Amino acid sequence: MGSRREWCSGCGLQLLVPTDATAVRCVVCQAITRFPYPPPPAAPFVYGGSSYCSRPPPPLSPLASAFGRKRAVLCGINYYGKPYRLKGSINDVKCMNYFLLNKMGFPPDSVLLLSEEETNPLKTPTKRNIRLALKWLVEGCQAGDSLVFHFSGHGTTEPDYDDDEVDGNDEALCPLDYETEGFIIDDEINGTIVRPLPYGAKLHGIIDACHSGTVLDLPFVCRMNSWLCKVKYREGYYIWEDQTPREIYKGTSGGLAVCFSACDDHQLSEDTTAFTGSKVMTGAMTYNFIQAVQNEPGLTYGRLLNCMRNAIRESKSSGGLRLNGPIASILNKLVFTSNNSSGEPQLSSSEKFDIYSTKFIL
């Protein structure tokens, strides 16, 4: 059965529907649209209101093809005007956008970039827009698809109220308007982009934020060079640590979800100029992720993780990697005087696999 693209009569989102469908329910606003659906009368678009433009707003991105699609959501938030402002997050998503388009073969119309520099109100990284973007990311996903969610900004932790976290805390991302609208917690992220992932599809999360180790709520975390590895195996080996304290399923619907995070759940990440050799700020993990993949085609997940960790360790040991911003003096003291706070990139997954034989492919 074929498919076609139609517009939701409620929110204007582009929907993929079967060719012979006469009605469809929107995955975002739950409105039912019946076909044929005539274009609405001319009227100015009112964001967040009931009015809409003479034709539906431009789609977040048209679907690239029927099979083997690449699609990405990139969110960069500097929190302009706030005392906790960052300086490298928007640079991060610009770099990631260039990397995906020019190095990884993502079609230009399949990458949705949300940042404070966007003039389109639908593309600012508010909580509502990030939620819509994540739902769009997996809409119509099928075998062969490659999805990417990249976030650069602040992360935090919240008390866990449903008893599904081994450390008693949910991890969360901080959207632009989190002070009024709240955080986006890992339970929601998992339910939105991990659980629906079908067999044969792959999702990569690349999260450059504090407290981001398990922010996709994936069940397995790769522990490298841990005490248990040293005892049971030898230096340089790894184990997959199960992060589900009881019988709660956090996996996919058959696909594979993998996440690279800037640091563990209890750690902080860095916003730095150490790697660019200039005044240009970037996230330490985002920069080294891109550099490693570009410099060594065909590398494995284990090799990629080690490349990022080694580069950050070398920069820390040389004194080049420091936190920046209004609260830099406080955070630098925390990060560089406490072993528990100093962040290193982490790897988590919806299933166990051999990180040293499995090639990294976007």
Question: Of 26, 41, 59, which residue is a domain's last?
Answer: 59
d(CA 349, CA 204): 9
How far is residue 17's CA from residue 37's CA, in Å, rounded to a whole number? Answer: 13
Active site residues: 154, 210
What token pair was written down for 235?
């230096």
> Taking 80 as the threshold, does the pLDDT of residue 231 lie above it?
no
Is 359 part of a structural domain of the chain? no
Closest CA to 321 of 332, 307, 308, 310: 332
Q: Are residues 34 and 68 in the same domain?
A: no
Question: Residue 356 domain-assigned?
Answer: no
3-7 and 14-18 as β-strands: parallel, antiparallel, unpaired? antiparallel
CA distance 22 to 33: 8
CB count in 10 Å sphere of residue 222: 20
Residues 185 and 49 in one domain: no
Number of helical (H) and strand (E) elements in the chain, helices listed first: 8, 17
Query: Is the domain of 46 the same as that of 141?
Result: no
Instruction: Give CA–CA dist 255/101, Å, rounded.
Output: 24
pLDDT of 43: 37
Residues 65 and 50 in one domain: no
Q: Please report whether residue 354 resides in a domain.
A: no
Across residues 207-216, what is the average pLDDT?
88
The yes-or-no verdict on residue 317 having pLDDT over 90 is: no
Read off the pLDDT band of 249 (50, 70, 90).
confident
299 shares a domain with 249: yes
Strand segments (E) across 78-145: 111-115
Task: Looking at the structure, tell me whether residues 116 and 208 fall in a common domain.
Answer: yes
Q: Is 283 exposed, middle or buried (0-12, 13-18, 19+ CB in 10 A)?
A: buried
Under the banding of pLDDT at 50, 70 and 90, the label for residue 9 is low
- pLDDT tens digits for 63-85? 334 346 899 999 999 999 999 89
Instruction: Decide if 67 is inside a domain.
Output: yes
**Which pLDDT tens digit goes with each residue over 155-200?**
988 887 777 777 677 889 999 999 999 999 999 999 999 999 999 9
pLDDT in tens, 103-146: 999 998 899 999 999 999 999 999 999 999 999 999 999 999 99
Q: Which domain holds residue 42?
A: 1-59
Instruction: Kindly report the number of other CB atoms within 10 A of residue 90's CB atom.
Output: 23
- Both tokens of 41, joined, read 């009368």
When pLDDT is averaged across residues 82-99 and rounded to a whole number, the result is 93
Q: Report yes or no on 360 lying in a domain.
A: no
Q: Which residues contact 180 (CB under 8 A, 6 or more apart)?
A: none
Our CA dihedral for 334, 339, 344, 350, rounded to 10 degrees, sits at: -110
Q: Cα 343–348–349 angle (5° rounding)?
A: 170
> What pLDDT was estimated at residue 313?
84
**Pick from 41, 59, 77: which residue ends a domain?**
59
- In this structure, are 14 and 94 located in the same domain? no
Q: Looking at the structure, do residues 7 and 128 belong to the same domain, yes or no?
A: no
Are residue 39 and residue 89 in the same domain, yes or no? no
Read off the tokens for 109. 């119309």
- The whole-number pLDDT of residue 97 equals 96
Q: 258: pLDDT confidence band, cut at 50, 70 and 90?
A: very high
Q: What is the mean pLDDT of residues 207-221?
A: 89
Q: Please check the confidence at residue 253 and state whether its pLDDT lies above 60.
A: yes
135 SS3 class: helix
Res. 256: pLDDT tops 80:
yes
Asked if the structure places residue 211 within a domain, the reply is: yes
**3-class secondary-structure state, position 242:** strand
DSSP state of 221: E
CB-based contact 147:204 (threshold 8 Å): yes
Q: Are residues 16 and 54 in the same domain?
A: yes
Q: Output the average pLDDT for the chain.
A: 77
In-domain check, residue 85: yes
SS (H, E, C) 299-329: CEHHHHHHHHHHHHHHHHHCCCCCCCCCCHH
Separation between Cα atoms, residue 17 and residue 24, nearest integer Å: 7
17-61, pLDDT tens digit by residue?
677 777 777 665 566 777 664 444 433 333 333 333 333 334 444
**One domain, residues 21 and 100:** no
CA dist 345 and 340 (Å) reads 14
CATH, residue 325: 3.40.50.12660
- Residues 231, 201, single domain; the answer is yes
SS3 at position 196: coil
355 located within any domain: no
For residue 274, the model assigns a pLDDT of 43
Q: Per DSSP, which regions of 65-192 are E strands?
A: 70-76, 111-115, 146-152, 155-159, 169-173, 184-185
Number of domains composing the chain: 2
Final residue belonging to a domain, choices 59, 87, 106: 59
Q: Is residue 342 very low, low, confident or very high in pLDDT (cuts 50, 70, 90)?
A: low
**Considering the entire predicted model, what is its pTM?**
0.74
Tell me what percent of the residues of the chain surpass a pLDDT of 70: 68
Q: Which run of H or E residues covers position 61? A: none
Predicted local distance difference test score (pLDDT) of residue 323: 40
